[in-house]
Amino acid sequence: MEENKTSLSDTDFNKLASFIYTNYGIKLPITKKIMLESRLRPRLRINNMESYREYCQYVLSGKCSESEIVNMIDLVSTNKTDFYRESAHFDFMLDVVLPEYYENNSEKTFKVWSSASSSGEESYTIAIVISEFMEGKRPFDFHILGTDISTRIIEKASLAVYPLDRVDVIPLAQKKKYLLRGKDLENPTVRIVPELRSKTLFKRLNLMDNSYDVPKDFDLIFCRNVLIYFDRETQENVINKLCNQLKKGGYLFLGHSESISGYDVPLKQIKPTMYQKI
């Protein structure tokens, strides 16, 4: 396509897409060009740039600020998530993972990592499930780390405020225990109770990094609905790096359409999308 100040050329799209894929693992096929163009438009204005060409050259120059890269990645990541999404994992936590931990290790903190946490629904569902399991039992300590590439989404997760309709799926009895109603009646929201928020921590982490600056002794890692963006080799690398942070006997959960079949990784399959470190 002819270079034009107000549109993103195929050449510049391909350069940006390749940069994003190499460094962040996010695939952007050419069909996403219009989406990228419209999402980047405000970044041109904010950076006082007149054309997509100028923006593209800036990003690829090696002199681009880290914050601009972070902003750009925020715009291209897909953050769809839900409370109790793919609920078989939470059933398995209640039926197997938590009872095993409770029998054998409950003097140690139960540690979970939600490694593509998006806006926090996954982490808070985990916190609710653990709290429900603990009811009527000897209390134990637990901690949930949520990480994501997108800083915007990490801020949302830390805030823990959700529109009322997002929590429909949470059973009423749990809503009463773990959610607080906001005061704004026009835009009804809920906030996760401080007791659960204090058990979580959110920070930015790129799964494409060579190693992960997180604890090495997780009991359980969720890596759901993010591997689909990566190619096979990257998926295998990411899984191996996750396994380095998982206790022997610890569990790894993947998303419903993700699998490690044929990968050279220290895991045995327990159920579809559920694995245990060997």
Ligand X SMILES: C[S@@+](CC[C@H](N)C(=O)[O-])C[C@H]1O[C@@H](n2cnc3c(N)ncnc32)[C@H](O)[C@@H]1O
Catalog residues that contact ligand X under the rule CB under 6 A.
24-26, 77-81, 85, 116, 118, 122, 148-150, 153, 206-208, 224-226, 229, 255
Q: CB-based contacts of 5: which residues, under 8 Å, 6+ apart?
A: 50, 51, 52, 53
Which candidate in 12, 85, 148, 219 is catalytic?
148
Q: Which is nearer to ligand X, 9 or 260 (CB)?
A: 260
Instruction: Say how far apart CA 135 and CA 243 lie, in whole Å.
Output: 30
Whichever of 124 and 229 has its CB closer to ligand X, that residue is: 229
Q: Which is nearer to ligand X, 126 or 265 (CB)?
A: 126
- Decide if 10 is catalytic: no
Q: Answer yes or no: 148 catalytic.
A: yes
Of the two residues 64 and 134, which places its CB atom closer to ligand X in the complex?
64
Quick check: 220 and 251 in contact, CB under 8 A? yes
Please give the full DSSP string across 165-224, using - where no structure is assigned: GGGTTS-HHHHHHHEEE-S-SSS-EEEE-HHHHTTEEEEE--TTSSS--S-S-EEEEEE-
Angle between helices 66-76 and 52-60 (to 10 degrees): 120
Length of the chain measured in residues: 278
> Closest approach of Cβ 188 to ligand X, in Å?
23
**Nearer CB in complex with ligand X: 43/53:** 43
> Residue 124 and residue 131: Cα distance in Å, rounded?
10
Q: How far is the CB of 212 from ligand X (least distance, A)?
A: 10
CB of 115 to ligand X, least distance (A): 7
| CB 7 to ligand X: min, Å | 26
3-class state of residue 243 by DSSP: helix
Cβ 222 vs Cβ 207: under 8 Å: no
Instruction: Provide the minimum distance between the beta carbon of 180 and ligand X in the complex, in angstroms, as a whole number.
Output: 23
Active-site amino acid positions: 39, 148
